[in-house]
Structure 1
Amino acid sequence: MAPPDRSGSSLMLADLRALACLFVVWKLLLLCIAYASPGPGYDTSTTLLLARAQPSLTENSLLEDFAKRLVSNLVRWDALYFVSVARRGVIFEQEWAWGWGFTKFLALVSKVLPSASSQPPLFVQAYAGVLISHVAHLLSVFVLYGLVDCLPFTTDKSQRRKIAFTAACLHVFSSAGLFLSAPYSESLFSLLNFFGVFVHAGIPFELPLEEYGLISLIRLLLSGASFGLATTVRSNGIFSGLIYFYHVYMLFHSRINVHTIVTIAVIGPSAAMILSGMLLPQYIAYQDYCVAPSDGNLRPWCSRKLPSIYSWVQEHYWNVGFLRYWTVSNIPLFLLALPMLCILISTGLAAPGLKLDNTRQPSKQHSNHASVYILCLALPQILLALLAFTTFHVQIVNRIATGYPIWYIVLAAAIVSPNTPAQDDKKTIRPDDALPLVATFQHQLNKHSIQKLLVRGMLMYSIIQGGLYANFMPPA
């Protein structure tokens, strides 16, 4: 007896349920590791901070003690600043380095938690941060699953669905690990950045600018707003503006008329919203420190040609700058980040060479447009890798890379279709569509042993990193 046919929507729901179950199991494992971790390691910042937040004579139930121990082991490194700033606002100059948008959202959520009135304030912020991270991570898994269907990759629906499911699984097991459970900004950034790409990818990529309808223009504005919000959460969200290079490319393949001018007029505010995600916190800080400083003294960065408090804080307090991190003592951190740097660059370069949709025979122009569009989607992760290698603290690339979707999708495509270009049909990579270097990267990614090594490496790294993080041990 043949099995009953199932509609595409029921298959999608089955996949989403499976992803949710996988998500819960994985999170429980990581939280168990965090809870079982013995203590704060060499740094007692969390112990001192949370001890002052709770009266010493307070008696807690067993469940409350469990929750407080768990959340205490999740408040590590930058999470200390996130929960503190969410509680009392920015006081110290260096606190402007942490996502202004995330701390504001964290403060808002903490006010509406049901138990907010009966818990010590800092614990409320910590609980809110953990809640935000878990909900945003799960939603970003679902958004990534849906994103694959919007991109001009792959072959039939069955193959596309497998790639979507595999990419979403890779995001569940992301190398960010426990950072996606702790009161950190990575989960929320992933959700906003994925959603921005998802909305933008809903615009038919081959559409010339003069044919953009009302829905496409609305998608442009929504994607710009989402990327702008992502930038307030993490400043590297500004890289997502590189996606709009595709519209510059398409301008040369479009007729100049009223519709084209209207589209360009909409692209401008969309890009401006992304830029405002960076400039708004800078403006607020400039007003506080440079226009009417409370102590009457201007800070040194106020007199710069580009008076950015963020760049000043990174440079002054953390010694961030071009090649400043290139020291002998940091070689282990570069080695730790090297696999992710290679993944970001290689998948970004390989992405335009993935097999295009073969439900119809695409023209050469259609194929070129698709390749350029995918390359523009991959540019943010390539730039992130290059800046991580040359400019900022390189080890954090293992967690901030989690907010960029293309590398998940390219790895998933290699896992689902592990054929080399020589074995696959000639549509996989064609000499007239892809550079030889791209073909080389594609060939390496398609090796089954490399795929297994990458997946195992992500799992092992997340588990080991979770134990180190909960014990306040580097790397962070």
Structure 2
Amino acid sequence: MFADIRALACLFVFWKLLLLCIAYASPGPGYDTSTNLLLLRAQSAQSENTLLAHLAKNLVSKLVRWDALYFISVAQRGYLFEQEWAWGWGYTRLLSLISKVIPGAALSPLYAQAYAGVIISHVAHLSSVIILYGLVHHLPIMDKRQRRKVAFVAASLHIFSTAGLFLSAPYSESLFSMLNFLGVLLHARIPWEMPLEKYGPFSLLSLLLSGACFGLATTVRSNGLFSGLVYFHHVYMLFHSRINLRTIVTIVVIGISAAMILSGMLFPQYMAYQEFCVGPSAASELRPWCTRTLPSIYSWVQEHYWNVGFLRYWTVSNIPLFLLALPMLFVLISTGLTAPSLWFEQQGLDRKKDYDHTMVYISCLALPQILLALLALTTFHVQIVNRIATGYPIWYIVLAAAIVSPSRAFKNGKVGPTQELIFRGMIMYSVIQGGLYASFMPPA
């Protein structure tokens, strides 16, 4: 196992160096000079003029693109404008915290935020790779003899994720992946076939910690809410459990865990409500979303500033973006539907209840990525699915199972014949996307 971790770390370093070299060699800012204008304010006469400092600034300037401009600005001076609340509160707070311990932060604070973002992205991405490797060993979806190979391939696929350079830049995808994977791992450590009345201290603690991780992930990206769907497995298990004091305690713990996930979304909304709808600034002009039944600044900003809504993105001009996202949508939906059937590879589950419990459990793990794909297809900017899908573990594991044992893992032929094409597509897309991103060119 340690040999696998070392090999994954070496593969990670190689891939990151390649993408960073592509970014550094990109021709320039493209049509948008926002990064140059923003970081120009961070220049200081006292800044270091060493070659290393110069190279670092040039590289980080190629990574501060699109949403990263907002992330580092908000982290440096807080939320000022309404539309900035679309970017994850948890991520910007962590950026601000990490930047304070970076040498030279007082001299060039915006650069410090950018450096902090790059550090967080790399550390969180590597952590995600290791967590995903460990997660495979706790899921009942393949033959035990194949788990080590599947774990290694799945973790490798995560290294080469279609998020590409977004997992190196000051973006929230890496941190979200780490927290979401950790939440799934903690939840997977609870025996899926265990009735609720048998939950002991270890299982209850795992439930609470998984809820905390999912809640933190939701402060980073709002789609962390989807991870709460895994608790539907406990609802199913309730019908196969005796009602006693331990069962009631378990239900309460499940409720607390779900509440932590929900609070990850509601807490930033509450702070925004206090500022725009209750605070001194609300006296002059009350924003329209303040009077809604559910006064969510996030949904208002998405709708008002980015035209997010059901079928609003379905325009002729956006057809190329749908075509760009179509492969990932196919992967998310097909692997999500296929995942429950992989339990047939597991040995010793020949009883009807084991079949039911495992099918329901794996289905609940796969539901978040299916819901993400459906919402991307119908509601929000579809092209971003290529980077936000990186935070969902099941599709990596199913593809890895297909690569390791295609004839056995995919008897229905839904994904098996295409896994090699998908892997090559991931590599090509990430390399091309890296050059385009660093040059401030879409897709973003």
TM-score greater than 0.5 by the shorter chain? yes
1:160-175 alignment runs, 5 A limit: 160-175=147-162
Deviates more, 1:351-360 or 1:186-195: 351-360
> Alignment partner of 1:401: what SS?
helix
Distance 1:144 1:57, change over 3 A: closer
Match among 301, 322, 336 for residue 334 of structure 1: 322
Who is 1:189 aligned against?
Answer: 176
Check the 8 A contact 2:343/2:358 in 1, yes or no: no
Distance 1:453 1:279 in 2: 41
Who is 2:248 aligned against?
Answer: 261
1:355-366 alignment runs, 5 A limit: 355-356=343-344, 358-366=346-354
Equivalent AA in structure 2 for residue 451 of structure 1: Q
Check the 8 A contact 2:47/2:108 in 1, yes or no: no
The answer to whether 1:453 aligns with 2:440 is no
Offset of residue 444 of structure 1: 2.7
Who is 2:277 aligned against?
Answer: 290
Distance 1:128 1:299 in 2: 33
Figure out how many residues of one structure are paired with residues of the other and give that number: 443
Check the 8 A contact 2:349/2:355 in 1, yes or no: no
Who is 2:120 aligned against?
Answer: 132
Distance 2:316 2:388 in 1: 24
Distance 2:375 2:349 in 1: 39
Distance 2:266 2:280 in 1: 19
The answer to whether 1:471 aligns with 2:443 is no
Equivalent AA in structure 1 for residue 330 of structure 2: C
Unpaired segments of 5 or more residues in structure 1?
1-11, 430-438
Match among 6, 9, 17 for residue 6 of structure 2: 17
Who is 1:204 aligned against?
Answer: 191
> Alignment partner of 2:84: what SS?
helix
Q: Deviations over 1:388-425 (max 9, x none)?
A: 00000000000000000000000000000010xxxx4x
Distance 2:349 2:294 in 1: 50
The answer to whether 1:116 aligns with 2:86 is no
Equivalent AA in structure 2 for residue 209 of structure 1: L
Q: Deviations over 1:112-139 (max 9, x none)?
A: 123424x411000000000000000000
Equivalent AA in structure 2 for residue 292 of structure 1: G
Who is 1:396 aligned against?
Answer: 384
Match among 55, 80, 84 for residue 91 of structure 1: 80
Check the 8 A contact 1:196/1:226 in 2, yes or no: yes
Check the 8 A contact 1:152/1:356 in 2, yes or no: no
Check the 8 A contact 2:141/2:346 in 1, yes or no: no
Offset of residue 356 of structure 1: 3.9
Report the aligned-residue RMSD.
1.3
Distance 1:200 1:295 in 2: 42
Equivalent AA in structure 1 for residue 94 of structure 2: F
Distance 2:390 2:349 in 1: 34
Distance 1:372 1:50, change over 3 A: same
Q: Deviations over 1:3-60 (max 9, x none)?
A: xxxxxxxxx1000000000000000000000100111100000000001111368561
TM-score with structure 2 length normalisation?
Answer: 0.98
Check the 8 A contact 2:141/2:340 in 1, yes or no: no
Equivalent AA in structure 2 for residue 453 of structure 1: L
> Alignment partner of 1:444: what SS?
coil
Distance 1:336 1:72 in 2: 26
Offset of residue 155 of structure 1: 1.1
Check the 8 A contact 1:209/1:259 in 2, yes or no: yes
The answer to whether 1:224 aligns with 2:203 is no
Unpaired segments of 5 or more residues in structure 2?
none
> Alignment partner of 1:255: what SS?
coil
Distance 1:332 1:56, change over 3 A: farther
The answer to whether 1:310 aligns with 2:298 is yes
Q: Deviations over 1:449-474 (max 9, x none)?
A: x1111000000000000000000000
Who is 2:22 aligned against?
Answer: 33
Who is 1:436 aligned against?
Answer: none
Percent pairwise identity? 74
Who is 2:371 aligned against?
Answer: 383
Offset of residue 293 of structure 1: 3.8
Check the 8 A contact 2:338/2:414 in 1, yes or no: no
Offset of residue 358 of structure 1: 3.8
The answer to whether 1:240 aligns with 2:208 is no
Q: Deviations over 1:191-229 (max 9, x none)?
A: 000000000000000001111111000000000000000
> Alignment partner of 2:191: what SS?
coil
Check the 8 A contact 1:351/1:374 in 2, yes or no: yes
> Alignment partner of 2:426: what SS?
helix
Distance 1:460 1:332, change over 3 A: same
Equivalent AA in structure 1 for residue 405 of structure 2: S
